[in-house]
């Protein structure tokens, strides 16, 4: 009986540890990567062109391994979005992969180590592929009016290119256009990094990784701000 009493705390500790390990995947709706789609340019008279502001636009990312999650940012290099009568028609933007940064590790040496590893050939191979890009192929309005500012107004489909691989993805986005300014913020979503040949630490391609395995899912939130000429 005493042995069993001593065993229960140990089992509880193990179960809690496993629970936290299993719950480390990034949050967000998983989106499927599909074959790239053709970009159809919508022909309209005198569209409004918005230049993406690189200083106020960024991508928030989240990665995970058992028991550990890390978050960071990547800057938007630039881009252009086309609208007409207050509706987004299309456009594209580039992501500056050399600006990958971590925002949750306080020790500078450890933070720099992670950032360097993410930029290396193990992960995003920034020296060979300095930019990623997204080009819109389709925009659908979300039925009904979203509650508050967090709700998506549109589902945006586009070709996402990273490490020389292009796949089509769709994610919800709230788009606001007023006063010569455009704001677009995606809902948090996740992609499978291995679809873009980012395979380091993936259990799909390497055996016996155990607690060194890295989650295949990457969480992303895209925030864009654009302005027309003179704003």
**pLDDT tens, position by position, 107-159:** 999 999 999 999 999 999 999 999 999 999 999 999 875 554 458 999 999 99
| Res 196 pLDDT > 90 | yes
Give the helix, strand, coil percentages of the chain, each rounded to 5: 15, 45, 35
Q: Looking at per-residue confidence, does 83 or 150 come out higher? A: 83
Topology (CATH) of 25-227:
Lipocalin (2.40.128)
Degrees, nearest 5: CA angle 78-159-165: 95
| Res 88 pLDDT > 80 | yes
Band the pLDDT of 5: cuts 50, 70, 90: very low
Q: What is the pLDDT of residue 225?
A: 97
This prediction has a pTM of 0.85
Q: What is the pLDDT of residue 231?
A: 58
Token pair in block for residue 115: 């950032």
Q: What is the DSSP string of 100-137?
A: EEESS--SHHHHHHHHHHHHSTTTT-TTT--EEEEEEE
Residues 26-65 have pLDDT tens digits of: 889 999 999 999 987 777 888 889 999 999 999 999 999 8
Q: Looking at per-residue confidence, does 186 or 21 come out higher? A: 186
Cβ pair 24, 198 in contact under 8 A = no
Q: What is the pLDDT of residue 1?
A: 45
Closest by CA position to 163, among listed 201, 133, 206, 200: 133
Please give the radius of gyration of the chain, using alpha carbons only, rounded to the nearest integer: 21
Q: What is the DSSP string of 5-52?
A: HHHHHHHHHHHHHHHHHHT-SPPSEE---EE---------SSPEEEEE
| Res 82 pLDDT > 70 | yes
Residues 172-181 have pLDDT tens digits of: 999 999 989 9
Cβ pair 163, 129 in contact under 8 A = yes
């Amino acid at each position: 009986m005493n042995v069993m009493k001593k065993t229960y705390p140990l089992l509880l500790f193990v179960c809690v540890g496993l629970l936290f390990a299993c719950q480390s995947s990034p949050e967000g709706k998983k989106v499927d990567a599909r074959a790239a789609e053709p970009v159809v340019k919508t022909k309209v008279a005198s569209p409004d062109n918005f230049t993406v502001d690189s200083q106020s636009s960024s991508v928030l990312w989240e990665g995970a391994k058992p028991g550990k999650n890390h978050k960071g940012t990547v800057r938007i290099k630039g881009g252009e979005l086309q609208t007409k009568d207050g509706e987004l028609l299309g456009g594209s933007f580039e992501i500056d992969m050399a600006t990958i940064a971590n925002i949750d590790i306080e020790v500078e040496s450890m933070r720099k180590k992670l950032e360097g590893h993410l930029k290396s050939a193990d992960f995003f191979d920034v020296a060979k592929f300095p930019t990623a890009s997204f080009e819109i192929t389709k925009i659908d309005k979300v039925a009904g009016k979203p509650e508050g500012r967090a709700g998506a107004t549109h589902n945006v489909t586009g070709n996402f290119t990273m490490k020389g691989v292009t796949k089509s993805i769709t994610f919800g986005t709230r788009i606001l256009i007023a006063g010569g300014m455009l704001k677009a913020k995606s809902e948090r979503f996740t992609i499978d990094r291995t679809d873009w040949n980012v395979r380091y630490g993936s259990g799909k391609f390497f055996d016996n990784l155990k607690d060194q395995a890295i989650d295949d899912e990457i969480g992303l939130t895209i925030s864009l701000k654009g302005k027309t000429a003179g704003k």
